[in-house]
Amino acid sequence: MPVNATPHRICSLFSLALLLIVASLPVLADTHPGQSALVQEVARDTGKDPAALNALLDQAQMQQSILDAMNRPAESKPWSAYRPIFLTQKRIDDGVAFYRANRALLERIGQQYGVDPQYIVAIIGVETSYGRVTGKYKVLDALVTLGFYYPKRAPYFRQQLKTLLELPDSQLAGPLSTLTGSYAGAQGWGQFMPDSIRDFAVDEDGDGRIDLMNSLPDILASVANYFAKHGWVAGGPVAARAQADGAAKPLGDWQSKPQWPLEQLEAWGYAPFQHLNPGEPTSLLTLAGMSGSEQWFTFNNFQVITTYNRSPMYAMAVHQLAQAIMDGVHDADNGGGAQ
């Protein structure tokens, strides 16, 4: 040691050298803003390896096309333009054929869960054209894009991404990095978000895995279980046309939860086109149809459909498709229509 060196000076020189070394190292930033915090939460809650979680998220890419799609949803269209998207003759005919091809399974599941089977078929018809169009986006890309780069709804999609990372392999159709779905990150024929996979998807075929892409029993039973858990009443009314008289009382904005007994709406000037239970709780929905304003009574089962997608136009499309499918099935049973 030089005679003029002191322990304090040596320590200072060492600290300076260490700082210079650290400063020269590359800064390890998050691949996506907020990634580290999310990884820490998932690792804490599940015990999963943070390095493996980071490796998964590092693969995900922000997709501008997903952000663009979120800003032009079909639900922004009026009913007159929205209905023709889903109530095509092909979609109806395909639904009839699907119902008849899988009738025993559908009706067993419908009875098991207390859900009218034509509505199970209509959901997968509206969502994915009976499994043909399940989405081309990587689920990780979709949820990373919306959870980290879409401030308008980032908290919701960040939660969905967290749930996805926490799901066990047995609840996914394949390795997480390979999963594809919609631009919103929904998966399978029924387009379940991760929270719905966790809470409502079921292993109906008993093979130890929930597969919403390849197992028809799992797919159909999961939709039925979702409806059942949200309060579907088998055989109950969904929606019915109403006729407003010239002095009908204005009722303000539609509410998804039934607001009044039907007889109250009748007293206010809204008459049903068919016989219905006068005590049935209902709300009044007005849609901009092809021939002008349409009034509809909506009931508990309609509200259940809106928990799947909150748009009343979506729920009406599912309802009308289900009715058209059932009519087609009956026609085919009686020797006409689709075979």
Question: In this structure, is the dihedral angle defined by the CA atoms of residues 236, 242, 247 and 253, taken in order, positive or negative?
Answer: positive
3 state SS of 208: coil
- Spatial distance between the Cα atoms of 32 and 35, rounded to a whole number of angstroms: 5
What are the angstrom distances between the C-alpha of 32 and each of 44, 49, 57, 155?
Answer: 20, 18, 8, 15
- Token pair belonging to 203: 């292993």
HSE (CB half, 13 Å, CA atoms) of 6? 3
Alpha-carbon torsion angle 121, 182, 84, 253, nearest 10: 90
Quickly list H helices, 25-149: 35-46, 50-59, 64-70, 79-86, 89-101, 103-113, 117-128, 139-149
Out of 127, 166, 266, 280, the active site residue is: 127
Cα 80–chain centre separation: 23
**Cα–Cα distance measured from residue 160 to residue 198, given in angstroms and rounded to the nearest whole number:** 10
6 phi, psi to nearest 5 deg:
-125, 155
**DSSP-derived 3-state class of residue 240:** strand
In angstroms, rounded to a whole number, what is the distance separating the alpha carbons of residues 117 and 293? 30
Active site residue 127: yes
Annotated catalytic sites, by residue? 127
